[in-house]
Amino acid sequence: MSENAKLPPLPVGTFVERAVTWSRKNLFDGWFNTLLTIGSIAFLLWLIPPLIQWGIVNATLAPTIEGCAEVTGACWGFVNANLRLILFGTYPYEEQWRPLLAMIVLMGIICASLGGVKYPSVRKWIIPMWVVGVPIIAILMWGGVLGLTYVQNSYWGGLPLTLILSAIGIIFAFPFGLLLALGRQSNMPAIRTASVVYIEIIRGVPLITVLFMASVMFPLFLPDGVSIDKLLRAQIGIILFTAAYLAEVFRGGLQAVPRGQFEAGDSLALSYWQSMRLIILPQALRLVIPPTVNSFISMLKDTTLVVIIGLFDFLGTVKLALRSDPAWTKYYVEGYAFAAAIFFLICFSMAKYSAYLEKELRKGEQR
Amino acid sequence: MKIKTILAAGAMTVAAVAAHNAQAGAVLDGIKAKGFVQCGVNTGLPGFSSANAEGKWEGIDVDICRGIAAAVLGDANSVQYTPLTAAQRFTALQSGEIDILSRNTTATTTRDAKLGLTFVGINYYDGQGFLIPKALGVTSATELDGATVCVEPGTTTELNLADYFRAKGMSFEPVVIENINEATAAFFSGRCDVYTTDASGLASIRTTMAENPDDYVILPEIISKEPLGPVVAQGDEQWSDVARWSFLAMVEAEEFGVTMGNVDDMKANSTNPGIQRLLGVSPGMGEALGLDEEWAYRIIKNVGNYGESYEKNVTAKLGLERGINALWTDGGLQYAWPVR
């Protein structure tokens, strides 16, 4: 098929004419679509103006309760007044530049890694970047060295906590999930059984149960005086949980790779790991980009569950701010709307990136 | 059968934990060694423990921990807070993750006797009540027959409500709503006649969530007892003594009229033997507790007396008067054992 065949016919006529043609074809194409279009427009007209009225026209940014009491619209002043509490939780106020910097470093590494996958010159720096970056983030957050005061991680909170839980969760769950998927496909009965049992048990319980076990039951089994950090327990719980789901996603990818590809690897006398690394996994992983990103997005959102074990993720700090002063409590709609906006921004970027990555990796096929 | 096994295992674990903690003085020594008190607090209950806009914990429950830190370590800020949910709180105490739990916890027999805990005092007497619109014209809970009641599910609140109406031979229609924001919104939009929760909660909902607080009243009947107070793990008597007397010193100080502002003056000039004992002018009290003689002086100097703490947190934030939490001399229930 030649490239030209795919191009739409060149537009003719004035802008208005073209607009009429376009909308006839796309919006008023038959009675059903016409009905849908009119219905949608009516719905938007009903929804949007009051929303703008509430969220922008009648809203205030004044960071005081009095300022909010004067307006009929949204009280963004609640977010404004409590922004640092919402972003950083109970992290010591004077030290909040540290989680801010840690967040910037983390975002920087993530962006560089995601954007740099394409370029071999950047790609070789990705792993070193993480090896250096993660300790820097840890030092910034914990402190206790280099003249930084020590901050217990029960004080971490807000956006940095959400991002750290998610990023570390993804980094560790990915290889672990991959190993589990390979284990499930293995010829060795012991490894296969262990993988299947693990995956099915974890998939059989809700994350909230895993977190509860980690935070309520687990400490009772440790000897006195030994306590594994609450945040670490939650992080491990999230990793173990996500890995089981990713394993099934990867299994789907592995099963979709034609048998002949495995045989091709064998006939070239490649070892198991060589053929996996060079032939099977590149194909299998590319096939499962959408469900993988799906898992990541749902994991990011699942980190909000840590609130039930007393950690304040981004959503938790919004609740914390709502309770900081009873007078703010009634502005919960604004608080949750703000949290939703930030979560949407992160999840939408992830989805967009996955679409981009798919397109990039499919270029080879399109030639 | 299975459940029994789990319960037995749980009980054994608790017993084992209690035995672990049984070395006298271990907690106090641990605190001195690490340099801070690890304090379990609520994840956010205004007036009791909540984070302010700077992310600092404050409230009357928080002040208990600050007082203990001042008594033991000399600095009220030497506290590390662990926010805990209702489900986690006792495990955290039993496993030694926290030194003290100051998280609006109701003292009950099972908790005190079976869970291996020791309640060291009651810093807030609460109880369940009813909030209604004035327009309803009801002046007593006994007139609520047939009312629709908004209540949060799965709490003792729901059980107390059912008990009360059954005992009075009245019927009611519960509107059970999980989320407190939605529950109060439902009440103020008129979906139910009555809203019920602890009286402290009702007062704060009335002052902060109602369009016009004067349109609503809290009925005089309090249908349950909720004595809330700080808790420590059973087995370390020295530590529970320190925790108990740190709290009682705050109440005793209020009885004597010793405040954050006049404590230095009182210490230098007071001739009242009670005050002299409390502030360490006549020695002995600190030694008895394994602390130095200025322990109570530092609590009052840094945190204030019970009344000041109540005023600053509960009255200022929730608009709640002292009520039954007034001193016994003012007709309330707060009664300090003598420091002597």
What residue ranges do the domains of chain A occupy? 152-366
Candidate CATH numbers 3.10.20.90, 3.50.50.60, 1.10.3720.10, 3.40.190.10; the one for domain B128-224: 3.40.190.10
In 3D space, the residue among A183, A161, A179, A181 whose CA is nearest the CA of residue A238 turns out to be A161
Whole-number Å distance between alpha carbons of A107 and A137: 11
Whole-number Å distance between alpha carbons of B9 and B332: 43
Counted residue by residue, chain A has a size of 367
Query: What confidence category does residue B307 fall into, taking pLDDT thresholds of 50, 70 and 90?
Result: very high
Whole-number Å distance between alpha carbons of B317 and B314: 5
| Strands B147-151 and B194-198, bridge-based pairing | parallel
Whole-number Å distance between alpha carbons of B146 and B151: 15
Whole-number Å distance between alpha carbons of A142 and A131: 17
Express each pLDDT in A139-157 by its tens digit.
888 888 888 888 888 888 8
Q: Which residues of B touch A332 (CB under 8 A)?
A: 181
Express each pLDDT in A301-339 by its tens digit.
888 888 877 788 898 899 888 888 878 888 888 999 999
Counted residue by residue, chain B has a size of 340
Mean pLDDT of chain B: 87
**B39: helix, coil or strand?**
strand
pLDDT at A245: 92
Query: What confidence category does residue B7 fall into, taking pLDDT thresholds of 50, 70 and 90?
Result: very low
Whole-number Å distance between alpha carbons of A272 and B110: 60
| Strands B147-151 and B216-218, bridge-based pairing | unpaired
Amino acid symbol at B153? P
Query: What confidence category does residue B4 fall into, taking pLDDT thresholds of 50, 70 and 90?
Result: very low
**B168: helix, coil or strand?**
coil
Minimal Cα–Cα distance from A62 to chain B, Å?
15
Place of tokens 């043609």: A21
**A241: helix, coil or strand?**
helix
Cβ neighbours for B127, distance < 8 A, ≥ 6 positions apart: B198, B199, B222, B223, B224, B225, B226
Minimal Cα–Cα distance from B20 to chain A, Å?
6
Which residue in chain A is spatially nearest to B22 when comparing CA positions?
A: A224
B2-125+227-330: which CATH architecture? 3-Layer(aba) Sandwich (3.40)
Whole-number Å distance between alpha carbons of A156 and A140: 11
Cβ–Cβ pairs < 8 A, chains A and B: 117
At the topology level, CATH places domain A152-366 in MetI-like fold (1.10.3720)
Best probe of the A interface among B50, B115, B178, by most A CBs < 10 A, is: B50
Q: What are phi and psi of A29, to 5 degrees?
A: -95, 85
**A53: helix, coil or strand?**
helix
ipTM surpasses 0.90: no
Express each pLDDT in B172-219 by its tens digit.
998 888 777 778 888 988 889 999 988 888 887 887 777 788 889 888
Q: Which residues of B touch A227 (CB under 8 A)?
A: 95-97
Do the chains contact at A220 and B47, CB–CB below 8 Å? no
Query: Pseudo-torsion of CA B268, B302, B286, B73, nearest 10°?
Result: -140
Query: What confidence category does residue A7 fall into, taking pLDDT thresholds of 50, 70 and 90?
Result: low
Choose among A91, A310, A327: nearest Cβ to B88: A310
Choose among B88, B96, B208: nearest Cβ to A309: B88
Do the chains contact at B95 and A88, CB–CB below 8 Å? no
pLDDT at B17: 46
Best probe of the A interface among B39, B85, B200, B318, by most A CBs < 10 A, is: B85
Helix A158-184 with A230-256: angle, nearest 10 deg: 40
Domain extents in chain B: 2-125+227-330, 128-224
Best probe of the B interface among A96, A150, A215, by most B CBs < 10 A, is: A215
